[in-house]
Chain A
Amino acid sequence: METLAPRNEQELEETIRMALANATPVEIVGGGSRWKLGRPPTGALRVSTDNLTGVTLYEPSELVLTALAGTTLAEITALLDENNQELAFEPQDHSAIFGLTDAAATIGGMIAVNACGPRRIKVGSARDHLLGFRSVTGRGEIIQSGGRVMKNVTGYDLSKLMTGAFGTLGILSQVTVKILPKAETETTLLVIGLQDPAAIEVMTETTNLPFEVSSFAHLPSNVTGAFGKELEGIAGQPVTGLRLEGPSISVADRTTALMTELGGSARQFETLVASRSKDFWRKIRDVTPLSNSRTQIWRISTAPSLGAAVVTNIKAEDVPVTGHYFDWAGGLIWLAVEPEDDANAETIRSVVEKYGGHATLIRANDDVRATVPVFHPQPKALAELTARVRKNFDPELILNRGRMREDL
């Protein structure tokens, strides 16, 4: 299939207009690291953001950065590192889960899938950090929304809508994101030996303490083996990680106080400091513990306190679960299951619906993702509204047709 790589926004606009005129459905491709997310693309022409690159505005003291959509996150991260700043929401790198080695995630793709990471509870996801964007819609028109300032309620907040829309409303050409200073240091307190329900309780208890814990994850014993030196000596046991970040004086104080609060010597604790802590959370973010297998992988978002119950009930329905773990204090469940044609979708989703939330099929082969709804099916009124929103931006369904829903 042919790939066009426009060199600027006008060329991008022209490309979409030509595609509209020729009724040629377009697949949007950035760095390719998230290519396998969503339903398989069905276009007849690829439009790449490869030639839309570069940081056009970066003012460290203003905590703001603007880049063209095809700019790689590697380039942006390196630039932010120089100023001790970062994208605070820690966008997941999907290369690991899809076993890719040469894909370079872009900032446009990061927004298109609403990427996020283990700080979700404290700092939100990409949608909370996008300040403004420019885009070419499925009508072949350039639009912009938002701006470069932190507070802005002028007009509809289209930034929210574009984030996570998988390019089905418009091809992003430029995005402006909020930047934050990096924490001075971090420490992860590990609580060893808890079963799922007890771990959820400990994480919930911790979220109710004023220690500003920024990440909460629980790894059952069968997934801790995927960690290297971070869990040396304790792999094979269940591990609950609680991350504290900030000025070193405050992190030390809070770690001690948290240990006391959680039962002191009655529990087995370990700590990971600095880079070992960072590596631990990076692996949790990127689903490293479940990636190295041939399983199908589900991502379930539910009320955090119900995480353990959701998994228990899925297993009780005889879904062949091979591994799972919790992030977001139980609110995010990564679930690996034996591959099956129906991906156990109905069973998994019926359990999730009972508890509230949604289940997304992240990893399965193209045939499965073409037949099983990848995104959680919506109730009728909402599904219809979703379709109307889509068609008001892209009446001919020219952009990433079928990527999110078979009929859209």
Chain B
Amino acid sequence: MSLTMPEPEKEILRNRAALIDRLRHVVPPDNVIDEETELRAYECDALTMYRQLPLVVVLPETVDQVSKIMALANEMNVKVVPRGAGTSLSGGSLPLGDGILLGMAKFNKVLEVDYANRCAVVQPGVTNLAITHAVEHKGFFYAPDPSSQIACSIGGNVGENSGGVHCLKYGLTTNNLLGLEVVLMDGSVIRLGGKHLDTEFYDLMGIMTGSEGLLGVITEVTVRILQKPQTARAVLLGFPSVEAGADCVAGIISQGIIPGGLEMMDNLALVAADDFQACGYPREAASLLICELDGTGAEVDHLIERVSSIAKNLGASHIQISQNDEERQLFWAGRKNAFPAVGAIGPDYLCMDGTIPRNQLAHVLTQMQALSQKHGLRVANVFHAGDGNLHPLILYDANTPGETEKAEALGADILRLCVAVGGVLTGEHGVGVEKRDLMHTMFSETDLKQQQRLKCAFDPGHRLNPGKVFPTLHRCAELGHMHVHRGKLPFPDIPRF
């Protein structure tokens, strides 16, 4: 593996026994894991190509315990890596050899559902899908739906600002939060937002969301829950070329239609998905769109008709409208299983996550084909086409020497391509360790330093999840320095009145 992490600090390693002993006074002794065989379970998240045993794993059960652990870590100058369900695809919870792995899995309760204010107060270890399960009997749902929703935790969703297939219409995690409780590195507990809709002063909830565990530990989340639309229907649209599929995406959006979901797969991905679980996909199509429309019955019928006619005009070879909810679910089943399905033809795959302006879709797909040939690895494509978020899955075999490095190089090339056309490195999976060293393709050194200064406001000692997101670590004292001329300088020749 070609990843360089911060050098373990000898002082921390030396104090391991004392740390473990003190942690056992903060949480029940069994909640401190220090045996190597048990630590193995935590050595990686869903980015399995990078592994590292943590110094120790702690599983707190109360906010007070989290606060004490953080204060202790602060006092002993020990690093902390927060972890939810460990489903990060970017290595956000990759352990550090000289860091406590703070597992939040025991925070697994739905604390309150408040239908009058359309929100649920949950602990961070509750899974994404469990929130919907807790409210669906009343006709509500929690909108962001990452593919890992059966396993991923809401705390992790906040940390990564997770998306899903319904973001185009319903937004990302950040648009579906009302409140957070956060424990800072010094052990202090702050509450941001609540059940009210607005933030005041700096939007620190907004900045916590997607901060990848670098700013604080989330101990409680208040999420918005939404009324399920009366009707949802999906239409499968197969096209003889990838370009025609991409054109159809642009066609739908530019007509002012905002589908609940708009997904695209190329032939390799759709055949893999259909093999994994037969869901009636047109296996001969070069690209496949799944377009879901939701709203009232009359509105959905009207929109389905418009979408079908756009597709027909662009030469769709297959148009199939779901006739009932089972069929709609079946259309989605293939898409939701696309990652494991591609994994099955793998043997390994690396999932990328760039976002591009929608009108660059056809261009980027063509270029990606060329890159795939150049590196000699196959790429299956699964996209959140509606919002331009690509998930190229690079197929490789980790047991073939050199192939992992080849996959990483192809991935980096694909992401550089995304940035070059006006896009970004990651749409929803986060930077973590995976895209850390590519941050300079999007940001200047000044940009990155300012982002790190923000971290300094939360964590001046760089104790919280260091080595993630930023390619170079700068000490806060160094970042805080500002060169100011103190002699009077003339104001420049700028229009004045």
Contact = CB atoms under 8 A, between A and B. Distances in A.
Interface of A: 2-7, 11, 14-15, 18-23, 45, 51, 59-64, 84-85, 114, 116, 120-121, 124-125, 127-128, 137, 139, 141-145, 147-161, 163-165, 169, 180-182, 204, 207-212, 246-247, 249-250, 253-254, 301-305, 328, 331-332, 356-358, 360, 375-376, 378-379, 381-382, 385-386, 388-393, 395-396, 404-405
A59 B422 CA distance: 13
A390 B192 CA distance: 17
Contacts of A304: 116-117, 196-197
21 contacts: A2-B496, A7-B494, A11-B494, A14-B494, A18-B492, A21-B486, A114-B198, A124-B171, A144-B443, A147-B424, A149-B427, A151-B355, A151-B389, A155-B431, A156-B207, A161-B454, A180-B258, A253-B297, A303-B114, A391-B457, A393-B453
Q: Give 8 closest A-B pairs by Cβ, nearest first.
A: A160-B206, A181-B256, A61-B254, A250-B299, A303-B195, A151-B427, A388-B457, A305-B116
A39 B486 CA distance: 28
B35 to A, nearest CB: 35
A149 B424 contact: yes
B494 A161 contact: no
B210 interface: yes
Interface string B181-212: 00010001111101111111111111101110
Contact of A253 (B298, B357, B494): B298
A392 B355 contact: no
B430 interface: yes
Nearest to B425: A154
Nearest to A3: B497
B454 A389 contact: yes
A170 to B, nearest CB: 9
Contacts of B485: 20-21
Nearest to A132: B424
A114 B199 contact: yes
Interface stretch (B47-55, B227-235, B236-244, B399-407): B227-235
Contact of B190 (A63, A157, A381, A405): A381
A249 B302 contact: yes
Contacts of A163: 203, 206
A50 to B, nearest CB: 8
Interface of B: 114-118, 138-139, 160-161, 163, 167-168, 171-172, 174-175, 184, 188-192, 194-207, 209-211, 227-230, 250, 253-254, 256-258, 295-299, 302-303, 355-359, 384, 387-389, 422-431, 435, 439, 442-444, 446-448, 450-451, 453-458, 469, 480, 482, 484-492, 494-497
Given A18-B492, A21-B486, A160-B203, A153 B426 contact: yes
Contacts of B453: 392-393
Contacts of B117: 303-305, 331
B157 to A, nearest CB: 11
Given A144-B447, A156-B207, A160-B209, A392 B456 contact: yes
A210 B484 contact: no
Contacts of B486: 21, 23
Most buried by B among A18, A59, A379: A18
B363 to A, nearest CB: 14
Nearest to B90: A153
A212 B229 contact: yes
A161 B116 contact: no
Contacts of B230: 210
Nearest to B303: A247
Contact of A20 (B207, B210, B484): B484
B203 A114 contact: yes
Contact of B451 (A158, A254, A302): A158
A15 B496 contact: no
A389 B206 CA distance: 13
A378 B199 CA distance: 12
B357 A149 contact: yes
B495 A51 contact: yes
B170 to A, nearest CB: 10
Nearest to A135: B450
A7 B485 CA distance: 23
A254 B296 contact: yes
B388 A21 contact: no
Given A21-B487, A246-B295, A358 B196 contact: yes
A310 B425 CA distance: 45
A22 B490 CA distance: 9
B202 to A, nearest CB: 6
B207 A157 contact: yes
Given A59-B359, A121-B197, A153 B160 contact: yes
Contact of B200 (A7, A360, A389): A360
Contacts of A120: 197-198
Contacts of B388: 149-151
A304 B454 CA distance: 32
Given A18-B489, A156-B451, A180-B258, A356 B188 contact: no
B258 A208 contact: no
A199 B295 CA distance: 26
B468 to A, nearest CB: 11
A61 B255 CA distance: 8
Contact of A385 (B118, B446, B457, B491): B457
Given A302-B195, A392-B456, 6 more contacts: A18-B489, A19-B491, A23-B486, A249-B298, A391-B457, A393-B454
A204 B116 contact: yes
Contact of B491 (A4, A209, A303): A4
Given A137-B450, A303-B194, A5 B494 contact: yes
A123 B409 CA distance: 40
A120 B197 CA distance: 8
A151 B203 contact: no
Nearest to B205: A160
A157 B206 contact: yes
A14 B167 CA distance: 40
Contacts of B168: 150
Contacts of A249: 298-299, 302
Given A11-B494, A250-B302, A375-B200, A149 B227 contact: no
Nearest to A209: B227
Contacts of B172: 151, 153
B358 A62 contact: yes
A26 to B, nearest CB: 11
A5 to B, nearest CB: 5
A163 B488 CA distance: 33
B422 A148 contact: yes
Given A127-B199, A151-B387, A246 B299 contact: yes
Contacts of A59: 357, 359
A381 to B, nearest CB: 4
Nearest to B161: A153
A142 B427 contact: no
A378 B198 CA distance: 15
A232 B2 CA distance: 72
A21 B488 contact: yes
A116 B175 CA distance: 14
A204 B450 CA distance: 43
A5 B423 CA distance: 32
